[in-house]
């Protein structure tokens, strides 16, 4: 049996690569918020690459999506069907450098597939009722799209869609009891 060649460890001058957290502090807080709101009624994936969610047959199509990701993807619990994509806006490094054409590509791809894409700003983390409303509306929109769009060739139609991501929690956003106090302060 032949052993793999030994790889010399990096010298201190070569060790310029350092690990960093997958999520910024604001993104981690939002992820926790999503997990609490959904109460394990769905799966949440952080920063999936588009090629993990979408399948493209051509090399040119693959090249367009292989280096791009969405901030959060919400999947249906039973079959991991993508239901809602979320772009999280905060002031973390790298967000401002994201090019407009990349955004347009992502939006075009998801709208073609009938997957709603939500824009959520870091300031909205504390507005739970608004988040619940946005998520519920997007989930219901996706269910409606699933009824209209045929399944991809070779796949069975998805099994019965759940009508609400947040059963019993949906409805229009309610004003927080502290909203008047916050409005008076600002």
β-strand 117-121 against 82-89: which pairing, if any? parallel
Comparing CA positions, the residue from 70, 73, 68 lying closest to residue 142 is 73
- How distant, in Å, are the alpha carbons of 71, 86, 103, 107, 159 from that of 75? 13, 11, 21, 18, 14
**Confidence (pTM):** 0.70
pLDDT in tens, 126-181: 999 999 999 999 999 999 999 876 655 555 544 444 455 554 444 443 333 333 33
Task: Tell me the C-alpha distance between 52 and 129, whole Å.
Answer: 31
φ/ψ of residue 83, rounded to 5: -115, -45
91 and 122 Cβ atoms separated by less than 8 Å: yes
pLDDT of res. 95: 60
Domains of the chain: residue spans and CATH: 40-151 (3.40.960)
> In percent, how much of the chain has pLDDT > 90?
40
Residue 121's CB is within 10 A of a number of other CB atoms, namely 13
At residue 181, the pLDDT reads 30
The 10 Å Cβ neighbour count of residue 100 is: 7
Determine the number of helices (DSSP H) and then strands (DSSP E) in the chain: 6, 4
47: left (phi over 0), alpha (psi -120 to 50) or beta: left
Least confident of 1-5, 6-10, 78-82: 1-5
pLDDT for residue 97: 60
Q: How confident is the model at residue 103 (pLDDT cuts 50, 70, 90)?
A: confident
């Amino acid at each position: 049996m032949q052993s793999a060649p030994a790889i010399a460890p990096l010298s201190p001058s070569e060790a310029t690569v350092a690990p960093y957290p997958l999520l910024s502090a604001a993104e981690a807080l939002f992820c926790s918020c999503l997990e609490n709101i959904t109460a394990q009624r769905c799966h949440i994936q952080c920063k999936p690459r588009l090629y993990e969610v979408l399948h493209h047959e051509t090399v040119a199509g693959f090249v367009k999506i292989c280096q791009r990701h969405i901030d959060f993807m919400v999947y249906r619990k039973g079959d991991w069907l993508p239901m809602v994509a979320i772009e999280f806006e905060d002031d973390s490094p790298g967000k401002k450098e994201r090019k407009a054409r990349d955004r347009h590509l992502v939006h075009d791809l998801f709208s073609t597939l009938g997957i709603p894409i939500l824009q959520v700003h870091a300031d909205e983390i504390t507005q739970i009722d608004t988040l619940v409303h946005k998520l519920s509306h997007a989930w219901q929109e996706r269910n409606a799209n699933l009824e209209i769009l045929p399944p991809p060739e070779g796949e069975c139609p998805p099994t019965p869609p759940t009508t609400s991501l947040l059963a019993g929690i949906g409805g229009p956003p309610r004003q927080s009891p502290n909203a008047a106090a916050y409005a008076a302060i600002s």
